[in-house]
Structure 1
Amino acid sequence: MATDIKGVTHAVEAAAVMDLLQNRPRLLALGEPTHGEDALLDVRNALFRQLVEQEGYRTITIESDCIRGLLVDAYVTTGAGTLDEVMERGFSHGWGASAANRELVRWMRAFNDGRPAADRVRFAGFDGPLEITGAESPREALTALHGYLSSRVDGDLLDATCAMETLDRLLGPDDRWTNPAAMRDPSRSVGQSADATELRLLADDLVALLDAQGPPLIATSSRDDWDRARLYGRTATGLLRYHYWMADASPNRMTRLVSLRDRMMAANLLAVAGVADAAAGAVGPTAPVDRAPVLVHAHNGHLQRSRSTMRMGGLQVEWWSAGAIVSAQLGSEYAFLATALGTIRHQGVDEPPRDTVEGLLYAGPEECSVVDARGLAAGLGDSMPARRVSPWFGYAPLDPAHLADIEGVVFVKDV
């Protein structure tokens, strides 16, 4: 496959990335094809620093628990807590153990030190409180939403909607929500019990009350307090919906669960981007709030515009990712850079075949580069490369059919 890539390959720098984009996006998404490799996070960190310093970016959001992420944001903006505490409690999926994530948080705190609030960089998680093996109890989100309302709206109005004692009774012990057996056995899930069904209705009513009281609440709350209340509302309703479908025994159960997870991600991304009504959990056309652009980081499969697929329990699961949902809403205000790799030798992923996209890029001299994906696709013409097959399940190679839907490919030669 003889294709000249010199004209479409550039250093991974903010200016080169901006040159690939039609316009300045609200959300610039950087994907990764595998998790747990700090070398990829180092590339992300360096790009984010340049975007902050040269392009006015002020937020990074990653594939981590949206509620835990509030602890990280408080630390980087105000210094609340300690770096050790934040790394231990502010991340999900084990991301807090990453040296690169620690360096990101340390740099953000140092950047913000002495800066006015309007010019500080912010951190957000955009995943739900979910792990691959299950989901958290809705207690934290529900009680936080109730607490926000109880201090700001008429007590009789709130009690008529839902008293705190009622929430406590219906929630019960948290371990019945987090039972790991429920992921494989729907009958072990509490999600379709009478208590959970009543909680779904009450959570919906609390979010409706939040919306109905919006004018005075917005007038008397800080923007951060209002945004957090909306976050708690969409997380509570999203978790209860997720638990409901964990209890479902139909053949489409896993498809429904992965779809719901990415729907929660999409609502969080739209909210971070300043799309106001997204915080209610409804992803539809809305009026945007003027905010600085955001760098998004997650797995390629959560950020791509094309339909996502994976095998789970021997079944092929397909769904629309958060990136696909957000891109449909924002159009050119959403941009996606997919990361592709040459080798991950410690995982048995050796040099890519020459007839793949990764093989073509691996033959170049650059250790790390950003490639004009659409320019590369045009140069390839009808010579569609083969799709690389990984010997390790934890690495998802780039699908060459996606090149035309990607603004750029960040290629890392050797991890």
Structure 2
Amino acid sequence: MVTDIRDTVRTFDAAAVMGLLPARPRLLALGEPAHGEDTLLELRNDLFRQLVEEEGYRTIAIESDCLMGLVVDEYVASGTGTLDEVMERGFSHGFGASAANRELVRWMRAYNVRADSDGRPAADRLRFAGFDGPLEITHAASPRQALTALYGYLADRVDADLLPCTSATLDQLLGTDGRWTDPAAMLDPARSVGRSADAKELRLLADDLVALLDAQTPHLLAATSRAGLDRARLYARTATGLLRYHHWMADTSPARMTRLCALRDAMMADNLLALAERGPALVHAHNSHLQREKSAMRMWQGPVEWWSAGALVNARLGDEYAFVATALGTIRHQGVDTPPHDTVEGLLYALPADPCVIDAPRLSTALGDTRPAPRVSPWFGYAPLDPAHLAGIDGVVFIKDVPQSLGRTDHSDGTRK
């Protein structure tokens, strides 16, 4: 029986994290309680390097646009473009401004070319992925990029008679991208194009294109490659997900925002499950997207709850999904000061180790029936650890103090986490 929380603490490294788990998971999810703090991203980078060198991990996936992430992956794998271009065009949510994200991309590219002048074998190269949809709090992207890329992939490889429409028809129905990305639609469903006649027709055509992609899988594998087919499936998931998202942006029911939050995490989950098929990956995002419990957020029309991407993936993968949350003591430059002693963060703040890894289930046992009080954050951008979630977390990485980052990504505009 664990009665002293000090018995649950280990020095932070990959071996300590993996020691909390029954086996190497296909997806190891590391959450963060706040975006835009390079100290948290530097810790993530250190963990990924160790997982690569000691545990055979080859992929990292972060909470960024899945289509923009292809730009980063191509640079990391083959050197396409320049680092400056990649940081500008390969990240959403302002994450390209992070010095820690830049260092991650630089290190991954260097690792892939380090072995010799020809670089590492393809199977041994590091890969990068964004697993978020092309979504922001202010708008959702036009489905044009994903839908036309899927159409182009099929048009180049299958009989034209099998295609459900022409590219000209698709272009006409899509119209201008501006009508899809109107920021007013987030607050006013009547401004959304998602239930227009064109959008309804596009949903049917997208469904037919996905069905054709599935039906032609043997031929497409022989004609291209597994990687090419996987990318086409990414386009398919993104196109149908965006069209579904736009459809519900036009909804006027009280469940509108609950449904939109759920759809975003469902898109994340589908992308993570696809990544799990190609080998073990480190996943990094906000704790709320990776936890096994329901997520919650207070929005302009009131509180909403939905199942997170982590909960959805865990339901499919079971023990092959692991979730390690990050908790912290202070972010003084954001008004988050020393945590109260009766909170989880307060108890951990009193320990000497920093950073450290805590066996969350053992900590839950050590605390017994007396649960710490929930910490209240004075800053909207930081979400404290919910003590009720401890038993459903594999581990907690704790950092005492988060200093202001010189290259910090600012989310003061209210970007959704």
TM-score range for the pair, normalised by the shorter chain length: over 0.9
Within 5 Å, which residues of 2 pair with 1:329-408? Answer: 329-408=316-395
Q: Which residue of 2 aligns with 1:155?
A: 160
1:151-173 C-alpha deviation (Å, 9 max, x unpaired): 10011222xx1210011000000
- Following superposition of structure 1 onto structure 2, how do residues 13-412 of structure 1 map, counting pairs within 5 Å? 13-113=13-113, 114-158=119-163, 161-274=164-277, 291-412=278-399
Deviations 1:254-286 (A, max 9, x none): 000000000000000000101xxxxxxxxxxxx
Runs (4+) of structure 1 moved beyond 4 Å? none
Distance 1:100 1:228 in 2: 27
Cα RMSD for the two superposed structures:
1.0
1:366 Cα deviation from its structure 2 partner: 1.8
The one-letter code sitting in structure 1 at the alignment partner of 2:216 is: Q
Equivalent AA in structure 1 for residue 110 of structure 2: A
TM-score (norm 1): 0.94
Q: Secondary structure at the match of 1:227?
A: helix
> Contact 1:349 / 1:392 at 8 angstroms: preserved in 2?
yes
Deviation track 1:203-262 (CA, whole Å, cap 9, x = no partner) reads: 010000000111111122112111100000010000000000001111110000000000
Structure 2 match to 1:10? 10
- Between the aligned partners of 1:101 and 1:329, the Cα distance in structure 2 is 30
Q: Partners of 1:214 and 1:53 in 2: how far apart? A: 35
Greater relative CO (CA pairs within 8 A, separation 6+): 2
Equivalent in the alignment of 1:279: none
Structure-2 separation of matches of 1:373 and 1:262: 24
Structure 2: distance between partners of 1:314 and 1:249: 12
In the aligned structure 1, how far is the partner of 2:223 from the partner of 2:176?
Answer: 34
CA distance in 1, matches of 2:70, 2:375: 38
Q: 3-state DSSP class of the match of 2:64?
A: strand
| 1-structure distance, mates of 2:18, 2:354 | 20
CA contact (8 A) 1:308 1:320 kept: yes
User: In structure 2, how many angstroms separate the alpha carbons of the residues matched to 1:45 and 1:136?
Assistant: 29
Q: Letter of the aligned partner of 1:269 in structure 2?
A: L
Q: Per-residue deviation at 1:22?
A: 1.6
Helix, strand or coil: the match of 2:283? strand
Quote the offset at 1:314 in angstroms. 4.5
Identity of matched residues, %: 74
The letter of the residue matching 1:405 is G
Q: Quick one: distance in 2 between partners of 1:379 and 1:125? A: 37
1:4 CA drift (Å): 2.7
Counterpart CA distance in 1 for 2:235 and 2:383 is 33
User: TM-score, normalized by length of structure 2?
Assistant: 0.94
What secondary structure, in the 3-state scheme, does the structure 1 residue paired with 2:398 have? strand
Gaps of 5+ in 1: 275-290
Number of aligned pairs? 396
CA contact (8 A) 1:162 1:206 kept: no
Distance 2:165 2:317 in 1: 36
1:131 alignment partner, SS class: coil
Deviation at 1:292?
A: 2.7
- Checking the alignment, whether the CA contact within 8 Å between 1:200 and 1:237 is kept in structure 2 is yes
Residue identity in the other structure for 1:7:
D
